């Protein structure tokens, strides 16, 4: 069972993990084909009883069919925001990891499509120097990547 629950009407708490996968100075971002309003870093919700490390390995295997060779803690994120797509307030806690995997032939493509059940996910390689042209969320994580700051820290983002 995923750790996401409604606190009260239109207010949710979510515990998730995210992956920072960089290849040739390009960052892999994702979005749902039905929601092009924003992009996000690959990952997903943590299951009850699942560690952050177990979760990121599972999510990357499920979404991209990749095995993680190495992972390094990047940041712990706590965000407070209104999700316009689902019209709800969120309190999100996420652990982000810098990951390495075996290079795949599709790493040379710009867009790659994978299915998660019926949901079509689009994964896109974006040049790190051009990230400001996209709406990749969370913004403070993107800024940290653009700055080349790979030291672990806590990031708080309050969009109210």
**pLDDT for res 116:** 82
**pLDDT for res 117:** 83
- Over the range 70-108, which residues count as b (16 or more CB within 10 Å of their CB) and which as e? ebeebbebebebebeeeeebbebebbbbbbebeeeeebe
How far, in Å, CA of 133 to CA of 129, rounded? 9
**pLDDT for res 139:** 96
How far, in Å, CA of 105 to CA of 126, rounded? 17
**Tokens encoding 78:** 């706590």
Mean pLDDT by 10 residues, the chain (160 residues): 94 98 98 90 98 98 96 98 91 99 95 88 97 96 96 95
Topology of the domain comprising 4-158: Nucleoside Triphosphate Pyrophosphohydrolase (3.90.79)
Angle at 126 between CA 122 and CA 130, to 5 degrees: 140
User: Phi then psi for 52, rounded to 5 degrees?
Assistant: -60, -45
**pLDDT for res 95:** 99
**pLDDT for res 119:** 86
DSSP lists the bridge partners of residue 81 as 90
- pTM for the whole structure: 0.94
Domain range annotation of the chain: 4-158
The answer, yes or no, to whether the previous bond of 119 is cis (omega within 30 of 0) is no
């Amino acid at each position: 069972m995923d750790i996401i629950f409604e606190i009260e009407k239109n207010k949710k708490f979510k515990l998730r993990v995210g992956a920072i996968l960089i290849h040739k100075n390009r960052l892999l971002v994702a979005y749902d084909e039905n929601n092009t309003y924003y992009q996000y870093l690959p990952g997903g919700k943590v299951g009850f009883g699942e560690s952050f490390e177990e979760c990121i390995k599972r999510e990357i295997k499920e979404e991209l069919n990749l095995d993680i060779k190495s992972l390094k803690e990047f940041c712990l994120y706590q965000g407070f925001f209104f999700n316009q797509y689902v019209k709800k307030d969120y309190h999100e806690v996420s652990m982000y990891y810098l990951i390495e995997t075996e290079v795949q032939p599709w790493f040379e493509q710009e867009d790659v499509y994978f299915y998660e059940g019926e949901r079509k996910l689009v994964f896109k390689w974006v040049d790190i120097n051009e990230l400001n042209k996209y709406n990749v969320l969370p913004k403070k994580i993107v800024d940290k990547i653009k700055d080349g700051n790979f030291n672990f820290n806590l990031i708080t983002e309050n969009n109210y």
